[in-house]
């Protein structure tokens, strides 16, 4: 059995694995796809101390750093169940079971997609999901934000300081965002909010996004907006469906609840990164929380890990 088994090979998992290995713990990482969301990212400009990099390059560096230690990396394997008795057990979809004294859950999250034509095609070429990450790429240009919840309205306020014009499209006839955010957005001259708008297509010139098509749900009329970018803000879904029966407490959003040492409610089970109730979801934050969870697990093992 492992001392520490990390589930997930994104920035949180990689960081947790390195911290565990550096404590001399027998460490494994099991990941469906090493690199996680970073593998899908083009430009990264907010990974502090690295002025600019690209997702695949950072993933290669993460992998090189992890493999510099004595860590078992089990890639292309998906965990399907966690159960705990004398130790914690991770069942894989291929039928195998891995056992560890401590487990660190770092299965990340995925952005909810609109599922309209053009969205996938122009991902990273105008279709964006993270205003903190990609906002500055649209400096001085018009953009749309899809979604009028808190994250959509926050994104609009954030982007309005950088871009030329922000149009928010909300499917429903009301905004779900907090009143204070809505008031702030309405007070900004370069934000327009359109309700009852169903986005139907992302249009581009084959290279990058040029427009967005939507239907006015009240009149059925079709419209097009000329934009350079579209920020999809209709939810970030944690990859925690497989934990529903595990006994690990999840928030109403499905996020794993952790304390300030990365511990969950289940003994010996820790968690880090976008899969948790961390307030913000960023690479540098995921790495920090991976380190926290690993040190938390180490602390647990020196107290309870004796056989």
Task: Beginning with the edge strand found earlier in the chain, give each strand of the sheet holding 229-232 in spatial order.
Answer: 127-128, 229-232, 142-146, 165-169, 191-194
User: Is 242 among the residues that bind ligand FAD (CB under 6 A)?
Assistant: yes
Listed ranges 3-11, 64-72, 166-174, 252-260: which one lies at the site for ligand FAD (CB under 6 A):
3-11
The contact pattern for ligand FAD, residues 127-166, with x = CB under 6 A and - = no contact, is --xx--x---------------------------------
Q: Which is nearer to ligand FAD, 193 or 286 (CB)?
A: 286
The encoded tokens of residue 126 equal: 């105008």
Q: Which is nearer to ligand FAD, 2 or 111 (CB)?
A: 111
Strand pairing report for 229-232 and 142-146: parallel
The contact pattern for ligand FAD, residues 31-70, with x = CB under 6 A and - = no contact, is xxxx-xxx-xx--x-x------------------------
Beta bridge partners, 144, equal 167, 230
Provide the greatest CA pair distance for the chain.
69
* HEC profile of 47-104: ECCECCEEHHHHHHHHHHHHHCCCEEEEECCCEEEEEEECEEEEEECCCCEEEEEEEE
CA atoms of 137 and 304, how far apart (whole Å) = 49
Residue of 6, 8, 119, 292 interacting with ligand FAD (CB under 6 A): 8
> Nearest distance from residue 303's CB to ligand FAD, in Å?
26
Contact residues for ligand FAD, defined by CB under 6 A: 7-13, 30-34, 36-38, 40-41, 44, 46, 78-79, 106-109, 111, 129-130, 133, 239, 242, 273-275, 281-284, 286
């Amino acid at each position: 059995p492992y001392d520490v088994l990390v589930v997930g090979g994104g920035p949180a998992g990689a960081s947790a694995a390195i911290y565990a290995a550096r404590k001399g713990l027998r460490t494994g990482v099991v990941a469906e796809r090493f690199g996680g969301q970073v593998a899908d990212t083009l430009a990264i400009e907010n990974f502090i101390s690295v002025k600019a990099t690209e997702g695949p390059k950072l993933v290669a560096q993460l992998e090189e750093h992890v493999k510099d230690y004595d860590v078992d990396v089990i890639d292309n394997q998906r965990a399907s169940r966690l159960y705990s008795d004398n130790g914690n057990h991770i069942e894989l979809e291929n039928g195998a079971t891995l056992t560890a004294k401590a487990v660190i859950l770092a299965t990340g999250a995925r952005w909810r997609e609109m599922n309209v034509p053009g969205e996938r095609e122009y991902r990273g070429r105008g279709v964006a999901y993270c205003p903190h990450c990609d906002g500055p790429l649209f400096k001085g240009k018009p953009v749309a934000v899809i979604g009028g919840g808190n994250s959509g309205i926050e994104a609009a306020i954030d982007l309005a300081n950088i871009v030329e014009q922000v149009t928010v499209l909300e499917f429903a006839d009301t905004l779900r965002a907090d009143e204070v955010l809505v008031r702030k957005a309405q007070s900004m001259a370069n934000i327009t909010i359109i309700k009852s708008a169903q986005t139907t297509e992302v249009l581009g010139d084959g290279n990058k996004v040029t427009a967005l098509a939507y239907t006015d749900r009240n009149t059925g009329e079709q419209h097009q907006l000329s934009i350079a970018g579209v920020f999809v803000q209709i939810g970030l879904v944690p990859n925690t469906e497989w934990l529903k029966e595990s006994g690990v407490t999840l928030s109403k959003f499905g996020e794993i609840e952790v304390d300030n040492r990365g511990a969950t409610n289940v003994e010996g089970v820790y968690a880090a990164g976008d899969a948790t109730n961390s307030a913000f979801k960023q690479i540098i934050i995921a790495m920090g929380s991976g380190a926290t969870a690993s040190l938390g697990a180490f602390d647990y093992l020196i107290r309870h890990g004796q056989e």
